Homo-oligomer: A and B are copies of this chain.
Amino acid sequence: METGGSSESSVEPKKGKSKTRRKPKESVLKQKSPAEFFAENKNIAGFDNPGKCLYTTVRELVENALDSAESISELPVVEITIEEIERSEFNSMIGLVDRERVDEALYDDYESAKAREKRLAKEARNQEIQAKNALLGKKTKEPTPVKGIKGRGEASFYRVTCKDNGKGMPHDDIPNMFGRVLSGTKYGLKQTRGKFGLGAKMALIWSKMSTGLPIEISSSMKAQNYISFCRLDIDIHRNIPHIHLHEKQENKERWHGAKIQVVIEGNWTTYRAKILHYMRQMAVITPYAQLLFKFISDASDKNMTIKFARRTDSMPPVPLETKHHPSSVDLLLIKRLIAETSKQNLLQFLQHEFVNIGKSYAERLIGEMGPDFSPKMAVKSLTDQQIVRIHQLFRQAKFDDPSGKCLSPAGEYNLRLGIIKELHPDLVSTYSGSAQVFEGHPFIVEAGVSIGGKDVKLGINIFRFANRIPLLFEQGADVVTRTAIKRINWSSYKISQWQDKIGVFVSVVSTKIPFKGTGKEYIGDDISEIASAVKSAIQQCCTQLKTKIVKKIQAREQQERKRRLSWWTTKWH
């Protein structure tokens, strides 16, 4: 038995020894560009490994495409194509002569003559056993695969192309929109699909890391008589676009939209299922879009084309940019708003740069700030102390909740349609909550619950959406999963978690989705306003379903009674 003994204190310090053995290099202060930071921490944006890189590239391109079409109120038509590129094809693309191996023993997958002999013998034995068993009509377990040639070295390359009918981009902005990290147009306060505003830039950085090939962009804006074409990559160290070609081409058909093409390393085998799930869930939440997904390879049996047809012309309204709610701003943001405002005095500033501060309320607030403040004082002359005073008052004062008018929920009608179109359930109910608020941010929760359907597993199947994009990872900790599994008493609605195929669909939209963790893949369970809104929305759906289920049971029982009655009548009359 050992306890926290003090005998160890007599041990010789190893310090001296390590000092002479190791001399650390002098450290030098270096500056990194944002592009370099994201290249080194690409998992922040969902680029963890080649498979996930392929998945995230697809979703970033699809989401940009949908945003773009919706921003001009155009019903989205999005085509996404993944083409598998063989190594030799890839090499010829970049002008590299495909070389045969010469010095075989250099390679990681090199098998010595002896190892090869052994492997072949084992394979032959396995075949014999199988043949024997087949003769005897015995079913055998699949023989354990023989460890043959490892595939570590063989990268898979893909050309990903996404074409939309959206807004397009101004000719001169294109290089910066793709080739400069932290440059973008989505930085206002509104409901947005994007997570970090990195999007296609990360795909470009990944192509740079894995294939070295540039991105190609074609784009045209409405009524523009030319198509902008741009081929570029990114100078990671300086975080600036490196343009190969940027020209205007003819636009005879008056096409508008964008087409983005990027060649990256990926892994279709491991992320095939995730990509298809993503497309299907996107089709559920976006039934007004026409989505075409294609996979093309040399092995034609792997090829696929999936069309998610448009089923409605009814599109959610465009999310609107809104002003900040006074309860939601921090010191830094107040300072930025002061720096950027066009208003002259404090009264105008409070009234026009925030929601839910009317003129008379602004005057009361200014009165409460103290004698140093007056409605007419120049807002740009506020001292740091005065700004802290405003911030403190903002946090303590009462303001009306922000309205949800700037939000763009999927709509109960669309959600229902999406569920029906993709799952073909036996029963479905939907519910759309009214706008609510947490920490000054408006949000809306919509939900659907379905029973039965195509490709639905027994038990609870969760479909999560945040600002109308599907969330596929880190499901366990999400507020929707936890609520559905722990806080809904399914049996009280005549629904069985063990015998029914239950689909639970919850969509949250907000100017600020309170993602937990940093992958932005799930919504935390710790914001009570959202947790209770989710619970109540699911319960509303369940209550609707219960009525239908009870009716169904009664109908069945009645039929049963009739059948028995008619049997009795036949028998005795």
Q: Are A155 and B395 in contact (CB under 8 A)?
A: yes
Known: A103-B368, A212-B387. Contact between A417 and B8, CB under 8 A?
A: yes
In contact, B103 and A364 (Cβ under 8 angstroms): yes
Minimum C-beta distance from A67 to chain B (A) = 11
Query: Smallest distance from the beta carbon of A550 to chain B beta carbons, Å?
Result: 13
Q: Determine whether A492 belongs to the interface, using a CB cutoff of 8 Å to chain B.
A: no
In the complex, whether A428 has a CB less than 8 A from a CB of chain B is: yes
**CB-CB contacts below 8 Å: A383-442 with B:** 384-385, 387-389, 392, 395-398, 413, 417, 420-421, 423-428
The answer to whether B187 and A1 have CB atoms under 8 Å apart is no
As a 0/1 sequence over residues 66 to 110 of chain A, the CB contacts with chain B under 8 angstroms (1 = contact) are: 000001010100000000000100010011110101110011111
Residue of B nearest to A426 (CB): B1
Q: What separation, in Å, do the CA atoms of A97 and B373 have in the docked complex?
A: 13
Q: Is A269 an interface residue (CB 8 A)?
A: no
**Top 4 closest A-B pairs, CB basis?**
A13-B313, A153-B396, A27-B185, A518-B518
Minimum Cβ distance to chain B for residue A172 (Å): 9
Instruction: Say yes or no for A129: interface residue by CB 8 A criterion.
Output: no
Chain B neighbourhood of A209, CB < 8 A: 330-333
In chain B, what residue has the closest Cβ to A521? B517
Q: Does A14 contact B (CB under 8 A)?
A: yes
At the interface with chain B, which of A223-231, A317-325, A464-472, A558-566? A317-325
Tell me the residues in window 500-525 of chain A with beta carbons closer than 8 Å to chain B beta carbons.
515-519, 521
25 contacts across the A-B interface (CB closer than 8 A): A4-B421, A8-B311, A8-B417, A9-B311, A14-B314, A14-B317, A15-B313, A19-B73, A22-B320, A24-B318, A25-B188, A31-B182, A34-B34, A43-B515, A44-B518, A95-B385, A99-B370, A152-B395, A153-B395, A155-B395, A208-B332, A209-B330, A210-B331, A212-B331, A519-B519
Whether A29 and B317, one on each chain, are in contact in the complex, defined by CB atoms closer than 8 angstroms, is: no
User: Are B11 and A312 in touch, CB under 8 angstroms?
Assistant: yes
A20 to B: closest C-beta gap in Å: 10
Does any Cβ of B come within 8 Å of A184's Cβ?
Answer: yes
Q: A-side interface residues toward B, CB under 8 Å?
A: 1-5, 8-9, 11-15, 18-19, 21-22, 24-25, 27-34, 36-37, 39, 41, 43-44, 48, 71, 73, 75, 87, 91, 94-97, 99, 101-103, 106-110, 152-155, 173, 176-177, 180, 182-188, 196-197, 208-212, 236-237, 311-318, 320-321, 330-333, 336, 364-365, 367-368, 370, 384-385, 387-389, 392, 395-398, 413, 417, 420-421, 423-428, 474, 476, 515-519, 521, 548, 552
Q: Does the CB pair A320–B519 fall under 8 Å? A: no
B29 & A173 in contact (Cβ 8 Å cutoff): yes
Q: Could you tell me if A4 and B396 are in contact, using CB atoms closer than 8 angstroms?
A: no
* Alpha-carbon separation in the docked complex, A316 to B398 (Å): 55
Q: How far is the CA of A398 from the CA of B103 in the complex (A)?
A: 12
CB distance from A527 to the nearest CB of B (A): 10
- Given the complex, which residues of B lie within 8 Å of A28, measured CB to CB? 185
A321/B44 in contact, CB under 8 A = no
Name the residue of chain B whose CB is nearest to the CB of A423: B4
> Which residue of chain B lies nearest to A236 when distances are taken between CB atoms in the complex?
B332
Q: A426: which of B3, B22, B516 is its contact (CB, 8 Å)? A: B3
A33 CB to nearest B CB, Å? 7
Residues on the B chain within 8 Å of A330, using CB? 209-210
Question: Contact between B176 and A29 (Cβ–Cβ < 8 Å)?
Answer: yes
Residues of chain B contacted by A99 (CB below 8 angstroms): 370
Contact partner of A9 (CB less than 8 A), chosen from B152, B208, B312, is B312
